[in-house]
């Protein structure tokens, strides 16, 4: 396992003081799959107070002490180290009411979500696999540690995490875990929208997103009532995801393609997504059911409305939903227009709002309206993008 020096340094300090130290979770899983690990989570039998003493010569961030986490700055990097712990009762399906520290690694691993995430690795003693996570990893299976109902009851978000891991890793979900996902799906209603959105945007970009969404559609319909009125269309849209760019905005739009604006808006509001994602998805969906045209004026108007990334996403979505749409031809025409660098934005016009006012148009909304009409006239080659030509055109439309 390729471990950065700043992580090895922290582990060695723990070992030199007689404590255990393990890498745990996703970094171990990814390394065993031959992937490059990025986030390194460490766990130890040292209590928070003992860690404060062990790393007293390092800069320490104490924000997670209550839950047993100490952040040590090593080699300029923040390294989170958490004491082995046993979680108390989960009263809200989200977080334990209390935690108890333990010196037993197995007890700590037993509280984790899935077997493939309950693997630990020490540079001293090697891999620790208490729950056959390595076998599940080799078989490509997502299985809960212990009783699935218990694991999901502790944190309902684990339902979305199971679906996300299945979609992203391309793994199947163990039968008992899958059965529990369906029976416990309503637990997701206790989870914050932000946490669900964080999982969903990764899920839709997964290699197996289509089959996961289709197979567990009940979970999505119980969570997103805004699309439950047309289950057939939602599931059909899911089958197109692999044909759309691997971008969460484009894929969410593809998933919601054909739903009216109120449904799309409701879906995005329920996720409490960031403004960029919300607006991008709504913008893309607003082009349904229009088929993209190869006409240069249509393409220029499209360029004035949305950016390059969205145009290409629309081309991909159109190619899925319109059998007679030639994606290659459209993108060739689009590239040809883009190379000409035509005036397609208000900022590219040879006049400003102040110029329009100087032509005699009074200040106010009318200035913006006329600027937009001028832009479309320039796009459609009805007016040249020069000061004099625009002035003449402005006076014609203002006085008409």
The fold of the 346-399 domain, in CATH, is Serum Albumin; Chain A, Domain 1 (1.10.246)
Q: What is the pLDDT of residue 96?
A: 67
Looking at residue 186, its pLDDT comes to: 96
Please give the model's pTM, rounded to 2 decimal places: 0.89
pLDDT of residue 95: 67
Query: How many Cβ atoms are within 10 Å of 192's Cβ, its own excluded?
Result: 11
pLDDT of residue 181: 98
pLDDT of 2:
87
Question: CB under 8 Å to 202, separation ≥6 — which residues?
Answer: 164, 167, 168, 248
**CA trace torsion 293, 268, 195, 153 (10° rounding):** -120
Same fold, 1-136 and 346-399: no
CATH superfamily of the 1-136 domain:
Beta Polymerase, domain 2 (3.30.460.10)
Query: CA 233 to CA 269: how far, in whole Å?
Result: 20
Residue-by-residue pLDDT tens, the chain, 400 positions: 889 999 999 999 999 999 999 999 999 999 999 998 888 999 999 999 999 999 999 999 987 888 899 999 999 999 999 999 988 666 666 666 678 999 999 999 999 999 999 999 999 999 999 999 999 999 999 999 999 999 999 999 999 999 999 999 999 999 999 999 999 999 999 999 999 999 999 999 999 999 999 999 999 999 999 999 999 999 999 999 999 989 999 999 999 999 999 999 999 999 999 999 999 999 999 999 989 999 999 999 999 999 998 999 999 999 999 999 999 999 999 999 999 999 999 999 999 999 999 999 999 999 999 999 999 999 999 999 999 999 999 999 988 7
Contacts 24+ apart (CB under 8 A), 213-220: 213/167, 213/238, 213/241, 213/255, 214/238, 214/239, 216/163, 216/178, 216/181, 216/182, 218/182, 218/185, 219/159, 219/163, 219/181, 219/182, 219/185, 219/188
Residue with the two structure tokens 């899920």: 203
| Token pair 């950065």 in the structure block, residue | 4
Residue 94 confidence (pLDDT): 63
**Domain segments of the chain as ranges:** 1-136, 296-340, 346-399
């Amino acid at each position: 396992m390729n471990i950065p020096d700043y992580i090895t340094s922290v582990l060695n300090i723990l070992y030199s003081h007689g404590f255990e130290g393990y890498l745990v979770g996703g970094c171990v899983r990814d390394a065993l799959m031959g992937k490059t690990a990025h986030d390194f989570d460490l766990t130890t039998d040292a209590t928070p107070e003992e860690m404060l003493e062990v790393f007293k010569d390092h800069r320490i961030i104490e924000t997670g002490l209550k839950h047993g986490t100490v952040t040590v700055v090593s080699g300029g990097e923040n390294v989170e180290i958490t004491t082995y712990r046993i979680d108390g009762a989960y009263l809200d399906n989200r977080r334990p009411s209390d935690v108890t520290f333990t010196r037993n690694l197995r007890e700590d691993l037993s509280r984790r979500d899935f077997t493939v995430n309950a693997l630990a690795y020490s540079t001293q003693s090697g891999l620790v696999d208490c729950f056959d996570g390595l076998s599940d990893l080799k078989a490509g299976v997502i299985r809960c540690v212990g009783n699935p109902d218990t694991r999901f009851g502790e944190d309902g978000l684990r339902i979305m995490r199971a679906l996300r891991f299945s979609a992203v890793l391309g793994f199947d979900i163990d039968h008992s875990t899958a059965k529990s996902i369906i029976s416990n799906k309503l637990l997701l209603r206790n989870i914050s929208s932000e946490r669900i959105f964080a999982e969903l945007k990764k899920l839709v970009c997964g290699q197996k997103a289509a089959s996961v969404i289709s197979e567990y559609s009940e979970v999505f319909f119980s969570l997103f009532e805004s699309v439950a009125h047309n289950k057939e269309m939602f599931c059909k849209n899911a089958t197109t995801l692999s044909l759309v760019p691997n971008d969460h905005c484009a894929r969410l739009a593809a998933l919601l393609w054909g739903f009216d604006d109120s449904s799309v808006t409701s879906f995005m509001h329920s996720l409490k997504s960031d403004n960029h994602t919300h607006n991008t998805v709504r913008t893309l969906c607003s082009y349904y059911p229009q088929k993209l045209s190869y006409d240069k004026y249509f393409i220029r108007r499209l360029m004035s409305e949305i950016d390059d990334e969205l145009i290409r996403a629309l081309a991909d979505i159109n190619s899925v939903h319109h059998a007679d749409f030639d994606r290659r031809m459209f993108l060739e025409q689009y590239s040809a227009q883009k190379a000409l660098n035509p005036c397609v934005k208000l900022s590219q016009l040879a006049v400003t709002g102040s110029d329009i006012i100087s032509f005699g148009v009074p200040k106010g909304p009318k200035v913006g309206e006329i600027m937009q009409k001028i832009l479309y006239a320039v796009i459609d080659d009805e007016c040249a993008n020069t000061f004099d030509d625009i002035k003449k055109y402005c006076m014609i439309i203002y006085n008409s």
